[in-house]
Amino acid sequence: MYSPQVAEHIANPRNAGELDRPSGIGDVTNEVCLDRIRLTIRIEDQKLVEAKVKASGCPPTIAAASVLTELIIGRSIQELSLLTRKDVIDALGHLPPAKSHCAVLAIDALRSAIGGPR
């Protein structure tokens, strides 16, 4: 059902936690299933230098949150704005079609975080 990558991220989530005084916070919840991702990022010179994430919910949500941090650290704001849910899904191998909304939630967290602190 789930790819080995999804399972591996569940076992070893990357960059789990929360940054002190981040430059941006993206805290998004899927109101239907209550899955939640809270992303904190630090931007320096138009570049994302540090990210930490917390997540709760079904396996793809936690895996998407985890893999998102790998996809965004070291990228420029310009590059981040081009990132889509497909990049998240590809990085996880695949997601069952009914679970692609978990990748959407991760991208929503990123967009919200880039938008600035709330």
Partner 1 sequence: MKVYLDNSATTAMAPEVIEAMLPYFSDEMGNAQSVHSFGQRAKSAIEKARRQVAALINASPTEVVFVSGGTEADNLAIRGIADAHRDRGHHIITTRIEHPAVLRTCEALEANGFRVTYLPVSRNGLVDPDGLRRAITAETILITVMLANNETGTIQPVEEIARVVSEARSSGLAYLNLHTDAVQAVAKTPIDVKTIGVDLLSISAHKFHGPKGIGALYVRKGTRIAKLLHGGHHERDRRAGTENVPAIVGFGKAAEMARAQLDERMARMRDLRDYLERQVNSLVSNVAVNGDQERRVPNISNMSFVGVDGESLLIALDLKGIAVSTGSACASGSLEPSHVLQAMGLAREEVRGSLRFSLGAYTTREEIDYALSNLVETITRLRAMAPADELETAHSI
Nearer to partner 1, 3 or 47 (CB): 3
- Closer Cβ to partner 1, 47 or 100, answer by number: 100
Among positions 27, 50, 87, 90, the unique one binding partner 1 when judged by CB under 8 A: 27
Q: What is the CA angle 79-83-88, rounded to 5?
A: 135
- Structural element, H or E, at residue 40: strand 36-44
From 24, 26, 38, 91, residue interacting with partner 1 (rule: CB under 8 A): 38
* Residue 101: partners with Cβ closer than 8 Å, 6 or more residues away: 30
Name which position in 54, 73, 90, 93 contacts partner 1 (CB under 8 A).
54
Q: Which of 45, 46, 62 is nearest to 54 (CA)?
A: 62
52 binds partner 1 (CB under 8 A): no
Does residue 118 belong to the site contacting partner 1 (CB under 8 A)?
A: no
Options 48, 64, 80, 102, the catalytic residue? 102
Under the binding rule (CB under 8 A), the answer on residue 92 touching partner 1 is: no
To the nearest whole angstrom, how small is the minimum distance from the Cβ of residue 99 to partner 1? 8
- Using rule CB under 8 A, residue 58 touches partner 1: yes
**15 vs 8: CA distance, rounded Å:** 14
Spatial separation of the C-alpha atoms in residues 72 and 49, rounded to whole Å: 9
Helix (H) or strand (E) holding 47: strand 47-56
